A and B are shown apart, each in its own frame.
Chain A
Amino acid sequence: MRSRSGGRIAALAVLLVACMLLRFLVGYRIGWPMDATVRALRLASIAAAIGVGANLAISGVMLQSLLRNALASPYILGLAAGAALGVGAVQLLGPRLDAVAWLTQPVAAAAGSLLALLLVYRLSLRRGFIDPMTMLLVGVMISVIASALLMLIQFLMGPNADQLLRWMMGRIAPETPWSILAVCGLAAAAGLALGLRWSAALDAAALSDDEAASVGVNLPALRLSMFAIAGVLTAVAVLVAGPIGFVGLIAPHAARLVIGPAHSGLLVGAAVLGASLLLAADSAVQILPHIPWSPLQRGLLPVGILTSAIGGPVFICLLRRHGGWSS
């Protein structure tokens, strides 16, 4: 079984390389970039998409296992809404208050998402332990509250809310500094390594709570670890690309179908698929303006819109098919 999943992961790796090559060949012009600057920008885009996609996918696997719910995704924790609220608050208050003027957009996004993370954690505790169902509901509520506050900020900003709206659509920016890309890559590698270290416990946690504890899983420690890792990975992804929906939902599902439920292969497969998915979506965003009848001649479609447009219907299909947990 192990060799079979190894072969499938290798096939996914080939898919990833193909997606990387595709993204390298598409941009303002389609074909091999002759200019060194263009090549560097495309490599940065590839690195960003791989890092963000892998972070979201690993986070999705952990949250779906932690919450016992196949419809859970990184944004269920309210992290994206928290990040957007942070960015919105800085854009609204920055010009008026010296105290927040120094905050850059990425710092505000990270601060907002981590604040949401702490709130969800604090409110999910029951008798000192994380309760999965409470966490799911608290995450949804934090998202609703943050979204309402964000709408208020947009209302108060009036026509100046354009930049905030664009950020909220999610974008793989080729001009992302390599230092931030390095942080993103390191986070993905560390998250994957920690997930693999806990993979046997994640497998056993698929049993009921009583059975999992009786076979030796320290459930409180496992849940706290997975929650913290998933939260940080999502915050890093939001910091690099803004809120990009559904990669963290779809990639774990697809990986489960290809690799199976055992987390040692599932985590690796989901990370590779998440990276491939975002690379493919970003490539599609580059290709769309080249289509003659495309209305997107003057600017690029934010990749978050594309992932949501594809992910939304897939989510509904999953919901109708499974209603909860699926293979």
Chain B
Amino acid sequence: MTVSLNQVCYAYAPRGRPVINDLSAVAQTGRITGVIGPNAAGKSTLLRLMAGLLAPDRGSVLLGDAEAHAMDSKTRAQRLAYVPQRPRVDASFTTAEVVRLGRYAGRRRDDAINQALAECELEEDRNRIFTTLSVGEQQRVALARALAQVYGRDDAILLLDEPTSALDPRHVQRTAEILRRSAQQGRVIVAALHDLVLARRLCDDLWVLDSGRLVSSGPAAQVFEPALLLRVYGVRFSSAEGVLLPMEGGTDA
């Protein structure tokens, strides 16, 4: 199942500034697509549109051949899981109970919950109260909840908004492995990322957003052009040894 965006426009207020502007792209099955761009480029809004949480003002977002926002909420949840940048739980649920909430739309399966906890290395934390966890641990719980949600579905779609922003290097590596394995199973993975090093190493395809417009897309090697990054981020990058680092004094003020 692919996710297709066709000339999508979206603004939060009627006649307001478009946050997503005439964007067309396709996220392919079995590939990891990274969405990169500076702050306020529209990355999170794009993911929410893809998740069917927002309805586009113009254009369409299709999951396979169905309009994402018009789908029955349970049917959509069985095909697609979304992980926000800042997961939140307004109750004293434990880690395992939060992961179980991912099974709301499907059958209650303990094996789905146990496997998701194991994959995210949360087995020892399963009885800890979610709100007492660190931000990084909460991000891992949100990922486990999403994995439990699409358990057993190799054609599922995983949308992740900055899934590694609060993780230590070991768990960044672990998350990357999980996403790679999910893609190999045939899932569609789309992740908004600020870490360009991770984006280059992890993603098969990249979408570069700037002010709501898709300014470049394609394989990582093709997209990581110093001129494009300078134009989008206003910073000069060095790509020595495959690692992208902003160059000293490289701000393009």
Partner of A217, one of B73, B90, B97, B145: B73
- Asked whether B97 lies within 8 Å of A262 as measured between CB atoms, the reply is yes
Partner of B92, one of A210, A217, A260: A260
B77 on the A face (CB < 8 A) = yes
- Asked whether B101 lies within 8 Å of A214 as measured between CB atoms, the reply is no
Q: Which of B77-103 contact A (CB under 8 A)?
A: 77-78, 80-82, 84, 86-93, 97-98, 101-102
Min CB–CB distance B42 → chain A (angstroms): 16
CB within 8 Å: A-B pair count: 75
Partner of A210, one of B48, B80, B105: B48
Given A206-B90, A211-B82, A213-B53, 5 further pairs, Cβ under 8 A = A203-B104, A208-B87, A214-B53, A218-B73, A327-B129
A interface list, Cβ under 8 A from B: 68, 200-201, 203-204, 206-208, 210-211, 213-218, 256, 260-262, 325-327
- Asked whether B73 lies within 8 Å of A213 as measured between CB atoms, the reply is yes
- Asked whether B88 lies within 8 Å of A208 as measured between CB atoms, the reply is yes
B76 on the A face (CB < 8 A) = yes
B149 on the A face (CB < 8 A) = yes
- Asked whether B91 lies within 8 Å of A211 as measured between CB atoms, the reply is no
- Asked whether A210 lies within 8 Å of B77 as measured between CB atoms, the reply is no
Question: What are the 4 closest A-B residue pairs judged by CB atoms, nearest first?
Answer: A216-B105, A216-B77, A327-B92, A214-B82
Query: Which of chain B's residues have a CB closer than 8 A to the CB of A256?
Result: 92
Min CB–CB distance A213 → chain B (angstroms): 6
- Asked whether A216 lies within 8 Å of B73 as measured between CB atoms, the reply is yes
B interface list, Cβ under 8 A from A: 48, 51, 53, 73-74, 76-78, 80-82, 84, 86-93, 97-98, 101-102, 104-105, 129, 142, 145, 149
- Asked whether B93 lies within 8 Å of A204 as measured between CB atoms, the reply is no
Min CB–CB distance B132 → chain A (angstroms): 10
Query: Which of chain A's residues have a CB closer than 8 A to the CB of B142?
Result: 211
CA A150 – CA B39 in complex, angstroms? 52
Sample 30 A-B pairs with CB under 8 A, ordered by A number.
A206-B91, A206-B93, A207-B87, A207-B98, A207-B101, A208-B88, A210-B48, A210-B53, A210-B82, A210-B84, A211-B82, A211-B88, A213-B53, A214-B51, A214-B53, A214-B77, A214-B80, A214-B81, A214-B82, A215-B77, A215-B104, A215-B149, A216-B78, A216-B104, A217-B104, A218-B73, A256-B92, A260-B92, A262-B97, A327-B91
- Asked whether B84 lies within 8 Å of A211 as measured between CB atoms, the reply is yes
CA A218 – CA B74 in complex, angstroms? 8
- Asked whether B48 lies within 8 Å of A203 as measured between CB atoms, the reply is no
CA A260 – CA B92 in complex, angstroms? 8
CA A203 – CA B93 in complex, angstroms? 9
Q: Residue among B73, B77, B90 with the most chain A CB within 10 A?
A: B90
Partner of B51, one of A204, A210, A217, A326: A210
- Asked whether A208 lies within 8 Å of B104 as measured between CB atoms, the reply is no
* Secondary structure class of chain B's binding surface, majority of residues: mixed
CA A190 – CA B86 in complex, angstroms? 37
Query: Which of chain B's residues have a CB closer than 8 A to the CB of A213?
Result: 53, 73
Query: Which of chain B's residues have a CB closer than 8 A to the CB of A214?
Result: 51, 53, 77, 80-82
Across the two chains, which residue of chain A brings its CB closest to B75?
A216
Query: Which of chain B's residues have a CB closer than 8 A to the CB of A207?
Result: 87-89, 98, 101
Partner of A325, one of B82, B90, B101: B90
Across the two chains, which residue of chain B brings its CB closest to A256?
B92
CA A215 – CA B86 in complex, angstroms? 16
CB-CB under 8 A for A215 and B102, given A210-B51, A210-B53: yes
- Asked whether B92 lies within 8 Å of A215 as measured between CB atoms, the reply is no
- Asked whether B101 lies within 8 Å of A215 as measured between CB atoms, the reply is yes
Across the two chains, which residue of chain B brings its CB closest to A261?
B91
CA A262 – CA B98 in complex, angstroms? 11
- Asked whether B92 lies within 8 Å of A261 as measured between CB atoms, the reply is yes
Query: Which of chain B's residues have a CB closer than 8 A to the CB of A206?
Result: 89-91, 93, 101
